[in-house]
Amino acid sequence: MSSDTPRVLSIQSHVVHGYVGNKSAVFPLQVLGFEVDFINTVQFSTHTAYKHIKGQSLKNEELDDLIDGLTMNEVDYYTHFLTGYSRSPDSLKKIVEILKKLREKNPNLNYVCDPVMGDNGKMYVPEDILPVYRDIVVPLADVITPNQFEAELITGMKMNSLQDALKIIEALHEKGPKTVVLSSTELGDEYCMIGIASTAGVQYQINIPKVDATFTGTGDLFASLFLAWWHKTNNNLKLTLENTISTLQIIVKDTYQKARDVQPTGKIPPQLRELRIIQNKNIIENPKITINAIELSPK
């Protein structure tokens, strides 16, 4: 089964309230014209920055069941596969099995892997997930979108300069992925975070104005927008990065401003930091490029 509409299978978390995982990724993909089938690895009341977290995780047998149903009904043809937050090495190994099945159906399947493990020097999934990403999952991905901390974990290398970042990117390419995107690094300053993307010997840097708050779900939104624009621009890395970051910048700024309208000073609670994705539907559909990516000179 094939058609001109791109079809994504997205395996990520679900939250009842708020925007992370599939809640953050599915709507933008749909708005951008993708058919999205999604499986929820967990169903939590909220994401993990809240005080109380309640909910269930999908068991591997249950995941198997869902995939079996798709296969038996022959609705398992996808152009894209997207994975994010997973909590156990076993569930990641299952994702690899699923990927192999999907590639049998479509050898050109594009796998975008966000190796979600942590941020700012801290892991928020169990540590035994690292070797599975590093040695099994990342080598099979077409595109990976780690943040600085995740890229450092996967390569065992430290990033203190742009030079380090480029070495890390090279080490990540050597593992397998043709396209490597560092969604955010701390190589900028207090006002700016730097993103870097690399494919086929070309690298771009993008300087992202920092908003003074921490957001959750931005990595998941980044990966879905990157997948969408990578397809829609026919693999034009500069345009993909610019559309992705320009959209995120509007959403993050709008979320921050609305939160500050309610609470002018002090730390913003998680419920006021939920991404304003729905309210920015028009921007997602038609982003204005407000931030340009700069090509890094060849070595």
Ligand X SMILES: Nc1ncnc2c1ncn2[C@@H]1O[C@H](COP(=O)(O)OP(=O)(O)O)[C@@H](O)[C@H]1O
Catalytic residues: 220
Query: Which stretch, 187-195, 216-224, 229-237, 262-270, contacts ligand PMP (CB under 6 A)?
Result: 216-224
* Closest residue to ligand PMP: CB criterion: 219
Question: Mind giving me the DSSP string for 88-104?
Answer: -HHHHHHHHHHHHHHHH
Residue 77 contacts ligand PMP per CB under 6 A: no
| Nearest residue to ligand X, scored by beta-carbon proximity | 219
Of 95, 179, 171, 183, nearest to 146 by C-alpha is 183
Rg for the chain (alpha carbons), in Å? 18
Task: Assess 94 for contact with ligand PMP (CB under 6 A).
Answer: no
Identify residues 233-262 at the interface with ligand X (CB under 6 A).
245, 248, 252
Which positions ≥6 away from 214 have C-beta within 8 Å?
49, 273
Site string for ligand X, 197-226 (x = CB under 6 A): -----------x-xx-x-x--xx--x----
Helix (H, G, I), strand (E, B) or coil at 230: helix
> 160 Cβ partners below 8 Å, 6+ apart?
none
Q: How far is the CB of 119 from ligand X (least distance, A)?
A: 4
CB-wise, 89 or 217, nearer to ligand PMP?
A: 217
| Cα end-to-end distance, the chain, whole Å | 44
Residue 274 carries which DSSP code? S
Rounded Cα distance, 126 and 116, in Å: 11
Smallest gap from residue 23 Cβ to ligand X (A): 14
What are the residues binding ligand PMP (CB under 6 A)? 13, 15, 20-21, 44, 47-48, 85, 116, 124, 216-220
What are the residues binding ligand X (CB under 6 A)? 119, 147, 183-184, 195, 208, 210-211, 213, 215, 218-219, 222, 245, 248, 252
